[in-house]
Structure 1
Amino acid sequence: MTGWYPVFLKEMLQFRRKLLRLGYIFSAMMAPIIYLVTFGLGLGKTVKLSEGTDYLTFLLPGLVAMSSMNNSYSWVASSLNLSRLYFKTFQVYIQSPIKPFSIMIGEVMAGMVKGLFASLLIIVVGFVVPSKFSINLIFILTLLLNCFMFACLGVITGMITKSHEDTATYSNFFIMPMAFFSGTFFSIDRIPLIFKPIIYIMPLTHTNILIRKSYIDTEAMISLSLILFYCLCFFLIGSTLMKKYSE
């Protein structure tokens, strides 16, 4: 079980090197800040929500969920893809006396740290702008599960892609639609009924539902159960891909 730590440490050392560059921090904040200014501060005053919440307060948890998804997923997927196909460092992991399960844990935990870092930047902004944004235990639990879930999905993508361009293709087909249609910017109640079955299949939909809850109700329990189900499935699939890796 201790084999995960060298994998995690290697990723954190690379991450620390990036943190020393101000450009990385600004790039991590840029897209969410643009969405916040455009939708929250720009259009927010004209948007009326049926539940009586102001739009900026509604938007901020969605931006946290989206940022944690993007960063947890993209870092792991890109890092694995590059280390497999170009730098050939992933093969060192496989040949070393580290079990695939431990490699999986190390990569996922590293992805979670990067997702949490990006989310923290948005949370800080959320407390600065004029809104009723707040966090609670459900918020924190949901954020952790979301980072874990999409880091596991990033492992799957990083293991099955055949080129670096494939990583962007998967992101365009799966991650980008989730960012816009899973309740980040508007309530899923406004989505036409014919599209709702597809929307409710998307993992981020249930993150957005749960992260905005102040207490556990039936809807929250269903979303939490589905998120746990996705976490388990993605983790097992990623672990299996690493175990059967023979490239």
Structure 2
Amino acid sequence: MSWYPVFLREMLLFRRKLFRVGYLFSAMVVPMIYLVTFGLGLGRNIDVGGMSYVAYLLPGLVAMSSMNNSYSWVSSALTLNRHYFKTFQVFVLAPVSPSAIMLGEVFAGMVKGLFASLLIICTGFLFTGMFVTTLFFLVALFLNCFLFASLGVITGMLAKSHEDTSTYNNFFILPMAFFCGTFIPVDRLPAILKAIVSILPLTHTNILIRKELFDGECLLSLTVLLFYTVLFFILGTWLINRYSE
């Protein structure tokens, strides 16, 4: 439980932000714009794989929101704590292992990602009457939050300034949000682009999160997500372990 103090600190800070209207609004505004514009506007009369476009879009928005919030809150906070507030150095000097620091940061990022996802699920239910509760949905959501919170730690450890986090976001997170099956099936992309996005984690989150029955595609996506989860966690722990600023 040596990770708990790190997690508790982040949760105490999160509680202070939680009841601010700006925080709640920032977590919801972009997915809500997409839901209203694409789902209830352009996609009203479009079917995707035998389902309405809104039914297709809503799980994708949950996946995208969990990715954005789990990643961005961790990467931004860690970068600021390292370079400006100098509080991360306290964790490193304390008798806490790198893996415990990693777990505390990742679990905190997961909570923020899951909270943002819950907002989207509830708002989507109010707008569409749809509420997703499948086992695959929950597994994909938790893995997605964990792996992107781990990626947020990696970015936070590598970033040389707060501006660097925006650069990483523009090169990795933003393209995944649009091309990895959130808005349109990956099969409809050009062959070259399809080959690239097929190896990205959000693609497999979007596949798994929409599954109702277990099949080969489900197993493949689950395996890929577990691979990224372990890889990002190990790499983040290694970066914390070799931290020497």
**Paired residue for 2:35?**
36
Q: Deviations over 1:176-195 (max 9, x none)?
A: 00000000001111011122
Do the aligned residues in 2 keep the contact of 1:56 with 1:131 (CA within 8 Å)? no
For residues 126 and 58 of structure 2, what CA distance do their matches in structure 1 show? Answer: 12
**Moved runs in structure 1, 4+ residues, more than 6 A?**
none
CA-CA distance at 1:27 after TM superposition: 1.3
SS at match of 2:43: helix
The one-letter code of the counterpart of 1:56 is V
> TM-score, normalization: structure 1?
0.97
Give the match for residue 181 of structure 2.
183
In structure 1, the residue matched to 2:132 is: 134
CA distance in 2 between partners of 1:123 and 1:130 (Å)? 10
Does the CA contact (< 8 Å) of 1:57 and 1:131 recur in 2? no
Amino acid at match of 2:71: Y
Report the more deviating stretch, 145-154 or 17-26: 17-26
Q: How many residues align?
A: 245
Q: CA RMSD in A?
A: 0.9
> In the alignment, what sits opposite 1:214?
212
TM-score (norm 2): 0.98
Q: Distance in 1 between matches of 2:12 and 2:187?
A: 43
Q: CA deviation at 1:46?
A: 3.5
Q: In the alignment, residue 159 of structure 1 is paired with which amino acid?
A: M
Superposed CA deviations along residues 116-170 of structure 1, whole A, max 9, x for unmatched, are: 0000001102222235442211101110000000000000000001000000000
1:66-215 equivalent positions in 2, closer than 5 A: 66-130=64-128, 132-215=130-213
Q: Percent identity between the aligned chains?
A: 64
User: Given that residues 71 and 118 in structure 1 are in contact (C-alpha distance below 8 angstroms), is that contact kept between their aligned partners in structure 2?
Assistant: yes
1:2-60: CA deviation from partner (whole Å, max 9, x where unpaired)? 211110000001100001211211111101100100100011124232x2100000000
**Which stretch has the larger CA shift, 100-109 or 39-48?**
39-48
Between 130-139 and 87-96, report the one with greater CA deviation: 130-139
Match of 1:8 in 2: 7
Distance in 2 (CA, whole Å) between partners of 1:155 and 1:173 is 17
For residues 134 and 5 of structure 2, what CA distance do their matches in structure 1 show? Answer: 33
Q: Distance in 2 between matches of 1:170 and 1:219?
A: 29
CA distance in 2, matches of 1:172, 1:139: 27
Match of 1:52 in 2: 50
| Aligned-partner SS, 1:201 | coil
Q: Distance in 1 between matches of 2:67 and 2:89?
A: 27
Superimposed CA distance per residue, residues 94-135 of structure 1 (whole angstroms, 9 cap, x where no aligned partner):
001111110000000000000000000011022222354422
- Residue type of the alignment partner of 1:14: L
Asked whether the equivalents of residues 136 and 214 of structure 1 are also in contact (C-alpha less than 8 Å), the reply is yes
Contact conserved, 1:159 with 1:241, CA < 8 A, in 2?
yes
- Distance in 2 (alpha carbons) for counterparts of 1:12 and 1:133: 27
